[in-house]
């Protein structure tokens, strides 16, 4: 539908700044229409069996798979990322669909005991109702898939609010899904975050707000939706650390560090924006990292505004490599490595969400763990070491929702619960069967077989 205002916003291509498309600039009236559509569709949708809902989710995933090339090209244009990354993301979204669809034949509940004789107690999952799904731009199709598939599979009707930076992939995903789902089950609401977001978050007809984005927006959403006691699930940012011990395989560690810090132009919640390196290998690691950063093709960041924000934060910082805008159209920041940044400085604590990482020098594992944990965030973390003892100590002590030994700080999969501690989220996990906890409520059913015996 066209937006009630009749207004649109421009979506530009990050790789060269040219116009890709216009998005509908929705507002409160459009929110009300989407919520009405969702509320009317939800009861009938929830009445279908989980097997049938799972089948339909599988059909959507298959339709996406069949249009893999088209989806890939769309994401390349919309985000400026490489074809390889975009294709990987389409495949990841498809896999999420298959994983969720499989739950149609499970969606396990529980039974439990009772102190009363003849009483059977079952815990069963029920849909929450209408879910607002508000997502970031960074990996658009997986972001839609991680929320929309489990939300509708669980029997909710959903309103997907994509980022204003990715209207094309959201429209594509919405159309594809709506060729298979009953009308009103999955609605896509385009618009600018601060215009269409608030009326959606505050609408009394929205039972659940599931949000992936910055801590700043998440905090606002939590407050506003909290006032009306809606269920709120927040997946927020990170300032993820990768630790390099003196017994690490340096070649591999450098490769993982570059990929963790710079792939997708560092626009990953799980990006390694802090590299914590043992003193004895610091200089060698730094040299190899810098050589790799010079030739790394990170791709553009999502917008001019984002690029300028990053350049402003780098002002006055000690830049080892990068730190400047590339001389070409679009929004390209050279992969950037900083050092000599105090652990409590703003740059160390604030997520930049771009191709910028900071090197820190530490004397040993204790100092590394202390530094890793000296962060307002706690999403992911990694350690590179040959020592099982060090790996296990780190896995135990790192304050993060994900720990990786000898790998990157990113790389979650559909069956793995994902989320963080501290300001990286509010305790929920997405993907995996953990996502079922987000999109369902537990109901305890007590059955007394023979009333005469109570
Ligand atoms: P953002 O917070 O600016 O925007 C996220 C979404 O919220 C967008 O759809 C935006 O339009 C919408 N929005 C903005 N203001 C709103 C408001 N007042 N009410 C409702 N919605 C509003 O974040 P971004 O720049 O799109 O994404 C980057 C952030 O997302 C980073 O912090 C990153 O770490 C985080 N992220 C987290 C995860 C995770 O799983 N934890 C995954 C991807 C990205």
Mean pLDDT of 316-321: 97
Which band of pLDDT confidence, cut at 50, 70 and 90, is reported for residue 451?
confident
Would you say the CB of residue 144 lies under 6 angstroms from ligand 1? no
Distance between CA atoms of residues 129 and 410, nearest Å: 32
Question: Ligand 1 atom closest to Cα of 146?
Answer: 40
Would you say the CB of residue 25 lies under 6 angstroms from ligand 1? no
Segment 213-263, tens digit of pLDDT = 999 999 999 999 999 999 999 999 999 999 999 999 999 999 999 999 999
Question: Ligand 1 atom closest to Cα of 192?
Answer: 11
Segment 191-204, tens digit of pLDDT = 999 999 999 999 99
Segment 389-436, tens digit of pLDDT = 999 999 999 999 999 999 999 989 999 999 999 999 999 999 999 999
Segment 357-395, tens digit of pLDDT = 999 999 999 999 999 999 999 999 999 999 999 999 999
Would you say the CB of residue 174 lies under 6 angstroms from ligand 1? no
Q: Which of 200, 214, 265 to mutate for ligand 1's pocket (most ligand atoms within 8 Å of CB)?
A: 214
Task: Output the residue whose Cα is nearest ligand 1's atom 20.
Answer: 197
Mean pLDDT of 65-74: 98
Mean pLDDT of 272-285: 98
Mean pLDDT of 441-448: 96
Neighbouring CB atoms inside 10 A of 288's CB total: 18
Mean pLDDT of 88-108: 98
The answer, yes or no, to whether residue 453 has pLDDT greater than 80, is no
Q: What does the pLDDT read at residue 452?
A: 82
Which band of pLDDT confidence, cut at 50, 70 and 90, is reported for residue 185?
very high
Which band of pLDDT confidence, cut at 50, 70 and 90, is reported for residue 174?
very high
Active-site residue flag, 269: yes
Mean pLDDT of 123-150: 98
The answer, yes or no, to whether residue 342 has pLDDT greater than 70, is yes
Q: What does the pLDDT read at residue 341?
A: 97
Residues 6+ apart with CB under 8 A from 45: 53, 152, 155, 157, 182, 185
What spacing in Å lies between the alpha carbon of 391 and ligand 1's midpoint? Answer: 32
Mean pLDDT of 159-170: 98
Q: Specify the pTM.
A: 0.97
Question: Ligand 1 atom closest to Cα of 425?
Answer: 41
Segment 9-28, tens digit of pLDDT = 999 999 999 999 999 999 99
Q: What does the pLDDT read at residue 310?
A: 97
The answer, yes or no, to whether residue 454 has pLDDT greater than 70, is no
């Amino acid at each position: 539908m066209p937006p009630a205002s009749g207004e649109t916003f421009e979506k530009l291509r990050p790789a060269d700044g040219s116009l890709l498309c216009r998005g509908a600039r929705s507002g409160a009236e459009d929110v009300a229409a989407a919520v009405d559509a969702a509320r009317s569709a939800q009861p009938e949708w929830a009445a279908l069996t989980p097997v049938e809902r799972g089948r339909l989710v599988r059909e959507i995933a298959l339709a996406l798979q069949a249009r893999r090339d088209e989806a890939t090209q769309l994401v390349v244009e919309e985000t400026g990322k490489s074809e390889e990354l975009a294709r990987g993301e389409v495949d990841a979204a498809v896999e999420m669909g298959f994983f969720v669809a499989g739950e149609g034949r499970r969606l396990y509940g529980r039974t439990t005991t009772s102190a009363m004789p003849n009483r059977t107690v079952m815990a069963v999952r029920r849909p929450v109702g209408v879910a607002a799904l508000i997502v970031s731009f960074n990996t658009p199709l997986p972001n839609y898939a991680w929320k929309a598939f489990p939300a509708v599979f669980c029997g909710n009707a959903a309103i997907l609010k994509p980022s204003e930076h990715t209207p094309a992939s959201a429209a594509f995903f919405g159309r594809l899904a709506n060729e298979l789902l009953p009308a009103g089950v999955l609605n896509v609401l385009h618009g600018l975050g601060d215009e269409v977001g608030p009326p959606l978050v505050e609408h009394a007809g929205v039972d659940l707000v599931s949000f992936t984005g910055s801590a700043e927006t998440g905090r606002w959403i939590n407050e506003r939706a909290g006032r009306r006691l809606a269920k709120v699930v927040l997946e927020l940012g990170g300032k993820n650390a990768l630790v390099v011990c003196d017994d690490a395989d340096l070649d591999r560690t450098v490769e993982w560090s570059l990929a963790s810090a710079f792939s997708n132009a560092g626009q990953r919640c799980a990006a390694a924006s802090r590299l914590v390196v043992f003193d004895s290998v610091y200089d060698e690691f730094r040299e190899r990292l810098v050589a790799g950063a010079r030739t790394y093709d990170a791709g553009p960041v999502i917008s001019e505004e984002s690029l300028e924000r990053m350049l402003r934060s780098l002002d006055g910082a000690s830049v080892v490599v990068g730190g400047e805008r590339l001389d070409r159209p679009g929004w390209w920041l050279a992969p950037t490595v900083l050092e000599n940044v105090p652990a409590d400085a703003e740059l160390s604590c604030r997520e930049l969400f771009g191709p910028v990482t900071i090197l820190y020098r530490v004397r040993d594992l204790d100092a590394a763990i202390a530094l890793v944990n000296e962060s307002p965030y706690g999403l992911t973390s990694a350690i590179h070491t040959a020592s099982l003892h060090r790996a296990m100590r780190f896995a135990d002590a790192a304050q993060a929702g994900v720990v990786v030994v000898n790998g990157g700080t990113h790389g979650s999969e559909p069956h793995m619960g994902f989320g963080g501690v501290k300001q990286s989220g509010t305790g929920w996990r997405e993907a995996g069967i953990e996502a079922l906890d987000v999109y369902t409520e537990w109901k305890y059913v007590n059955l007394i077989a023979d009333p005469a015996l109570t």
